[in-house]
Amino acid sequence: MGRRLGGVIAALLLAFGAMESAPTGSAGAEGVAPKPTIVLVHGAWADSSGWNGVVERLQRAGFPVMAPANPLRSLAGDAEYLSSVVAGIPGPVILVGHSYGGAVITNGAGGHPNVQALVFIAAFAPDAGESIGALAAKYPGSHLPTSLTGRPYRAGGGPGVDLYIDPAKFSDAFVGDVPAATAAVMAAEQRPLTLEASNDKSGPPAWKSLPSWYMVAKSDHAIPPEAERFMAKRAGSQTVEVEGSHAVMVAHPDEVTELIEAAVAGVAH
């Protein structure tokens, strides 16, 4: 029994070693550049499952896809985590951020020459020294100020405050165009953003050196659409507008996928 168990463990170790050494990008035909890996970064009050419809469509189109869990603890720390994810991906990368995830890709793309483009989905695209809280308040219309509730927490670094959306207000503030049952599940599963992260100042923005694409959600009750248009114009993004709520990738995965594919085509050599 001991020898058999040892053999199984050895086989597993060999298998994992092979997985680690294998490239994550699709190889492509001879003479054809491989398709970029699409890295989807969720924002606050969401998780990676919000990208499910987009992931399915991108995978059917042959793209390698990653949707890592955004820690949502601090902008610098979250960007550092994303940077470490990108560092482990061979070949070209397209970074896609939703909501607060846009601030994370803005800060996490730097220093990675394989990152070809940024795609903002109803997302923050801060400039150096800006916080997402200040950007959200730049234009009227956000329902978040009357929808958020704070809950104290304590972790290794000491006490802090987690921000949640009141479940009774989640549909209005976040997912107004998805079925009520889906909104209720998302409200129960929402991952909080720390109060500290909402006030963290952004670093030098990657959108100043990388091409970008932006989707404005015209019925967004979290980030005012005028704020999204301002950020898209400032970044020089190629912009589309969709009649959707803040969680536009949940209700409109086709349009989000099309914008990502437009970014891929836009940087193809």
**pLDDT confidence of residue 31:** 58
When pLDDT is averaged across residues 163-184 and rounded to a whole number, the result is 97
Residue 57 pLDDT > 60, yes or no? yes
Question: What percent of the chain stands above pLDDT 90?
Answer: 84
CA 229 to centroid of chain Cα atoms: 19
For residue 77, what are the contacts with CB-CB under 8 A and spacing of at least 6? 71
Report DSSP state, residue 50.
G
Query: Cα–Cα distance between 80 and 203 in angstroms, integer?
Result: 12
- pLDDT single digits (tens) 80-108: 999 999 999 999 999 999 999 999 999 99
Residue 268 pLDDT > 50, yes or no? yes
β-strand 65-66 against 115-121: which pairing, if any?
Answer: unpaired
Helix, strand, coil shares of the chain, percent, nearest 5, are 45, 20, 40
Per the DSSP assignment, residues forming a β-bridge with 97 are 41, 120
- pLDDT single digits (tens) 180-190: 999 999 999 99
**Cβ neighbours around 230 below 10 Å, total:** 15
Query: Cα–Cα distance between 36 and 268 in angstroms, integer?
Result: 10
**pLDDT confidence of residue 34:** 87
- pLDDT single digits (tens) 185-239: 999 999 999 999 999 999 999 999 999 999 999 999 999 999 999 999 999 999 9
**pLDDT confidence of residue 13:** 34
Residue 114, CA distances (Å) to 67, 82, 119 in order: 17, 14, 15
Write the class of the CATH domain 34-267: alpha beta
**pLDDT confidence of residue 155:** 79
Residue 78 pLDDT > 70, yes or no? yes
pTM: 0.89
Per the DSSP assignment, residues forming a β-bridge with 261 are none
**Is the torsion defined by CA of 130, 150, 215, 110 positive or negative?**
positive
Indicate the average pLDDT of the chain. 90
**pLDDT confidence of residue 22:** 35
**pLDDT confidence of residue 269:** 66
Per the DSSP assignment, residues forming a β-bridge with 25 are none
Residue 113 pLDDT > 60, yes or no? yes
